[in-house]
Amino acid sequence: MNKAKTLNIDDALAAEIGQLAIDLDKFSEDEDTYEYWDYVDDPEESIRSTKSQILNGKLDSIKEYIQLFIEADSLSDPSVAEALIRRLDEVKRNINEQNPTSSPYKQVGEQNDSEPKDA
């Protein structure tokens, strides 16, 4: 069962999650262009997949991906990556506030992020 379907999300949060997924996709394309185009056939599907990850509580892998670029010191503007991580944390807080009993996030960290990732 898809947990995202049971979440209560107001229009503002839904819009923020959608925009965040777009911004994460753009970050990936900008910072890892060749890898992005090797794996992404349909950018719209990539954005939908990222949005689904966010709604299903799978933020650790997204944050780890961004953190790799920060640690490699390969970004022209690290503040963009840091802002994305802050926005992910804010979305997580907002989902928890709007869904105190059915949030896909545990009180201590994300759940289900240790599941195997699709290749």
- Could you give the CA distance from residue 24 to residue 88 in angstroms, rounded to a whole number? 10
Whether residue 88 lies inside any domain: the answer is yes
Whether residue 108 lies inside any domain: the answer is no
Count each helix (H run) and each strand (E run) in the chain, helices first: 5, 0
Whether residue 90 lies inside any domain: the answer is yes
Q: What is the pTM of this model?
A: 0.79
Nearest to 50 by CA among 115, 117, 101: 117
Whether residue 82 lies inside any domain: the answer is yes
The residues, ordered by sequence, that sit 6+ positions from 41 with a Cβ below 8 Å of its Cβ are none
- Per run of 10 residues, the mean pLDDT along the chain (length 119 residues) is 64 96 96 91 96 92 94 89 97 91 64 41
**Tally of domains within the chain:** 1
> If you write DSSP's letter for every residue of 56-116 in order, what string do you get?
TT--HHHHHHHHHHHHTT--S-HHHHHHHHHHHHHHHHHHHHH-TTT-SB-SSSBSSTTSP
Q: What is the pLDDT of residue 116?
A: 39
Q: What is the pLDDT of residue 104?
A: 82
Q: Which domain holds residue 70?
A: 9-98
Whether residue 56 lies inside any domain: the answer is yes
